[in-house]
Structure 1
Amino acid sequence: MSDTLDPAEQAWQRPAATPANRRRDALGALVLFACMMPSSVLYRLAGAMGEPSPLWITVIWAAVMCAALVFRRRWPSITALVVAGVYIAGFELGVSELLFSQIVLFVAMYTVGAWVSDRRIVRFTLGAITGAMLIWLAIAMVTAVTDPNVSGDYNGFGTQTAMLAYFGIQVISNLLYFGGAAYFGTHAFRSARQRAELEYRTLQLERERERSAAQAVSLERVRIARELHDVVAHHVSVMGVQAGAARTVMDANPDAARASLANIEQNARTAIDELHHLVGTLRESDDDDASAGVSTINASQLSELVAESSAAGLPTTFEVHGEPRTLPGTVSLTLFRIAQEALTNVRKYAGSEATADVRLRYLDSAVELEVTNTGLVPVKPRKGGLGHRGMRERVTAVGGEISIGPRSRGGYLVRAQIPAADTPVSPEPSGASA
């Protein structure tokens, strides 16, 4: 079965017989031939066939019928037609075997229904064989009725009535015989198709599971990359600014230099703590433990982030508008990381004279974070930068929208709006500045 073929939606082709199938067919044909020889002898001894043909004709007849079964799965229709033709020819010649020859014919007709994928060919082949057999039976019946030597052998309630009853039984028996072969063959074909459909669905589910696993790994890698970028970029940029300030005032103002070095030390410790927390979360193997290890960083720490930004040499203000409420953990973390990345970019690119404003707005069904700054605006985006892409990915992951770009009156704007459930809780200060 082709991996891309859906048996339920397309014309299904039954797979070709395997070498093992062909070996079993050859063995079955040999067994049937071995059974037909003693059976024909018993029929000859019983005198059931009147004047039987010579034994060598029966041997050739049986050999041809059984040999055809070796190819029954490779050429089902041809095999069935050959078997049916040889069957009729043998009885016209007076062969003396009525049991295993009918089994051979049944198997050949069954194979047509079970192995031919084009059902029109099935109907044509089985119909042709059935029709030929019934015509042959009708001719035999007419011959018997018109032959005085044959009709004289029948007794009962009227000679003609007895003969008609006998041939009526023959017709019914043959119809049941041929109908049974067609029914069981068709049932076998449908069962094979259902198995193929099940295998196809199983394969599709397995592939879907593999794709889902690969996507989960990719998403996790992106999340890790975002977290590492946010942690490292923010704290390293702050340490760079503080180191530059310390170097500048080291001789003229040792106290200010020591304060800058202390800030560098504090940022280094904070960065290491966050990295340890991130690595510890990634090492959790149990789902419950992993979910419990979600970062504790949230929007309530925005005021601390603003104070840290001001201490690093970027004057920054923080305002909260609306009725504060509890935010989902992912939303809260996203807001903090966006503000962190935006302030980091201001320190990198806006120049030493820049200032920044952070505003957090609680709307009816969403929360909005806005970070604006004055100062220089890069003419072209920095190639290879991950900051903007990381912010967009974070907001998209929680179903929000973000706009990033220069302001018409100068400076830069980052505005993110994220849907958030309206769940009022412990209020925060309605406004703060740092």
Structure 2
Amino acid sequence: MPRITRAQQRNDIVLAIVLLLGGLLSAVLSSVSGLYGDQQASLALAVGYVFVLAAPIALRRRWPSVVAVIVSFAYFLAVTLRIPEIYAGNIAMFIALYTVGAWETSRRRATIVRVAIIVGMFAWLFVVMFQDATQPVEGITGGAFSRAGAFSPFVAYQLLMIGINALFFGGAYYFGDRSHQQMRERAALEERTAELETEREVTAAQAVALDRVRIARELHDVVAHHVSLMGVQAGVARSLLTRDPDAARETLASVESSARASLHELRQLLETLRTPDGDAAPQTAPTTHGLTSIQALVDDATAAGLPSTFTVVGDPACDPPPLVQVNLYRIAQEALTNARRHAGPDASADVRLRFETDAVELEISNTGRRGSSTPGLGQLGMRERAAVSGGTIEIGPRSRGGYLVRVRVPLTPAGVAHV
């Protein structure tokens, strides 16, 4: 159940004040008109009764069952003692019964209280009807009903009272339950809305985190490869500067070319980040490299002192998706960069690209040392790229020496769906 708001508390106080003023007016007019004739109680008692009716209504949502019992008991005493006020009492009774159905947190208590009040009121009504029916009638005076006939005016009046009371109590019972159900549905809807808002914020945060990982992976691949290559080439140029100036010049030209390529890829990455369509960013590649660019990686590795070969096995049945091609290119780039760093001076590398009917496989092996035993960001990036492409990757030392990186990406409809 929703919590009682301050606005609702103020509304209950206003309702109690309105009921009090209306009840006082009704009590005065009923007393002056002689509602119960010579048997009616005093006006002072009626004023006190109205206060007893109105005061609990101000707290009806806090203690609905208690308020209903107090109002019902006061109404019963008022009619029994013939206190000249019935209209405000009827309204207070309806409000109290309705509030029990709408705001009582314990549904079992709500049912017991309402049923007990309704049964008690109807039992009291039938007792009064029985007393009226068994009173001796010597003659019909003004205001009395004739009891002649099977369906006399007296019987019709009693049936009318039963019907009115049934509608009165039944309406209070039904509308109270209906209001309680609507409040529960509204509370459940608000709770679900809050959950969806929280999920949306979490999803947005996850998207930002994934985007940061993607950007970091791209920056690592671009910077690590080119800077490592430029470092090796610069060292070669320095050693050849005095012995073979022409060769040193060519090596420095390669350093310049690597720097330009690095700046070009960084510029493409920055342009991707500035793209206003954020939804398309995770699905598009920040560079245009593909499988055809692997040969250039192999040539750069050879020029940097790591003799490398590139072999293509089989013919592609269809072009792999662009994202798969970029990821395979980056995996080859990272594997060759690691080989240059860790394989040693006498190592060589072999890159094989195999096309099968339902998959594409990329294998990069080298004959050097095992390398670092602790996986770094490069290996983590390769595994992430393989997973994004819907493939599997194997990274580790070979049994006959050297190191192997092998990634396999399915090209079936199911495999492409992962991409």
Kindly state the Cα deviation for residue 151 of structure 1 after the two structures are TM-superposed.
Answer: 8.7
- Whether 2:28 is the aligned partner of 1:29: answer no
Residue by residue over 1:147-166, the C-alpha shift from the partner in whole angstroms, topping out at 9 and shown as x without a partner, is 22699532153388443332
Residue aligning to 2:85: 97
Question: Cα–Cα, structure 1 residues 156 and 142, in superposed 2: closer, same or farther, change >3 Å?
Answer: closer
Residue aligning to 1:409: 400
Kindly state the Cα deviation for residue 359 of structure 1 after the two structures are TM-superposed.
Answer: 0.7
SS in 2 for 1:416: strand
Q: 1:97 & 1:151 partners in 2: Cα distance?
A: 29
Residue aligning to 1:365: 358
Q: 1:203 & 1:150 partners in 2: Cα distance?
A: 73
Q: 1:16 & 1:259 partners in 2: Cα distance?
A: 79
Kindly state the Cα deviation for residue 42 of structure 1 after the two structures are TM-superposed.
Answer: 2.6
- 1:380 counterpart (373, 384, 403): 373
- Whether 2:300 is the aligned partner of 1:308: answer yes
Aligned runs of 1:187-336 on 2, under 5 Å? 187-287=178-278, 294-324=286-316, 325-336=318-329
Question: Cα–Cα, structure 1 residues 288 and 101, in superposed 2: closer, same or farther, change >3 Å?
Answer: closer
Aligned AA (2:132): A
Q: 1:379 & 1:331 partners in 2: Cα distance?
A: 27
- Whether 2:98 is the aligned partner of 1:110: answer yes
- 1:340 counterpart (322, 333, 358): 333
Kindly state the Cα deviation for residue 287 of structure 1 after the two structures are TM-superposed.
Answer: 4.9
Residue aligning to 1:10: none
Aligned length: 407
- 1:66 counterpart (38, 54, 69): 54
Residue aligning to 1:139: 127
Is contact 2:342-2:372 (8 Å) kept? Answer: no
Q: 1:379 & 1:389 partners in 2: Cα distance?
A: 13
Once superposed, what is the RMSD of the aligned Cα atoms? 2.0
Judge which range, 39-48 or 119-128, deviates more: 39-48
Residue by residue over 1:389-431, the C-alpha shift from the partner in whole angstroms, topping out at 9 and shown as x without a partner, is 0100111112111010000000000000112248xxxxxxxxx
* Identity in percent: 46
Residue aligning to 1:15: 2
Question: Cα–Cα, structure 1 residues 187 and 93, in superposed 2: closer, same or farther, change >3 Å?
Answer: same
Is contact 1:151-1:159 (8 Å) kept? Answer: no
Residue aligning to 1:47: 34
Kindly state the Cα deviation for residue 288 of structure 1 after the two structures are TM-superposed.
Answer: 8.3
Residue aligning to 1:163: 154
Q: 2:193 & 2:410 partners in 1: Cα distance?
A: 38
- Whether 2:409 is the aligned partner of 1:418: answer yes
Is contact 2:79-2:86 (8 Å) kept? Answer: no
Is contact 1:354-1:375 (8 Å) kept? Answer: yes
Q: 2:103 & 2:361 partners in 1: Cα distance?
A: 66
Q: 2:17 & 2:355 partners in 1: Cα distance?
A: 86
Question: Cα–Cα, structure 1 residues 101 and 389, in superposed 2: closer, same or farther, change >3 Å?
Answer: same
SS in 1 for 2:41: coil
Kindly state the Cα deviation for residue 292 of structure 1 after the two structures are TM-superposed.
Answer: 7.2
Kindly state the Cα deviation for residue 286 of structure 1 after the two structures are TM-superposed.
Answer: 2.9
Judge which range, 71-80 or 393-402, deviates more: 393-402
Q: 2:307 & 2:77 partners in 1: Cα distance?
A: 107
Residue aligning to 1:77: 65
- 1:397 counterpart (388, 391, 395): 388
Question: Cα–Cα, structure 1 residues 150 and 201, in superposed 2: closer, same or farther, change >3 Å?
Answer: farther
Judge which range, 177-186 or 293-302, deviates more: 293-302
Residue by residue over 1:303-325, the C-alpha shift from the partner in whole angstroms, topping out at 9 and shown as x without a partner, is 11111111111111111112223
Question: Cα–Cα, structure 1 residues 185 and 287, in superposed 2: closer, same or farther, change >3 Å?
Answer: same
Is contact 1:115-1:189 (8 Å) kept? Answer: yes
Question: Cα–Cα, structure 1 residues 118 and 74, in superposed 2: closer, same or farther, change >3 Å?
Answer: same
Aligned AA (1:404): I
Q: Where do 5+ consecutive residues of structure 2 fail to align?
A: 414-419
Residue by residue over 1:190-209, the C-alpha shift from the partner in whole angstroms, topping out at 9 and shown as x without a partner, is 11111111111111111111
- Whether 2:45 is the aligned partner of 1:57: answer yes
Aligned AA (2:381): G
SS in 2 for 1:148: coil
Q: Where do 5+ consecutive residues of structure 1 fail to align?
A: 1-13, 423-434
Aligned AA (1:52): Q
Question: Cα–Cα, structure 1 residues 405 and 167, in superposed 2: closer, same or farther, change >3 Å?
Answer: same
Q: 1:224 & 1:182 partners in 2: Cα distance?
A: 63
Is contact 1:335-1:369 (8 Å) kept? Answer: yes
Residue by residue over 1:262-302, the C-alpha shift from the partner in whole angstroms, topping out at 9 and shown as x without a partner, is 11111111101111111111111135885777421111111
Kindly state the Cα deviation for residue 260 of structure 1 after the two structures are TM-superposed.
Answer: 1.4
**What TM-score, normalized to structure 1?**
0.89
Which structure's relative contact order is higher, taking Cα pairs within 8 Å and 6+ residues apart?
1
Question: Cα–Cα, structure 1 residues 232 and 293, in superposed 2: closer, same or farther, change >3 Å?
Answer: closer
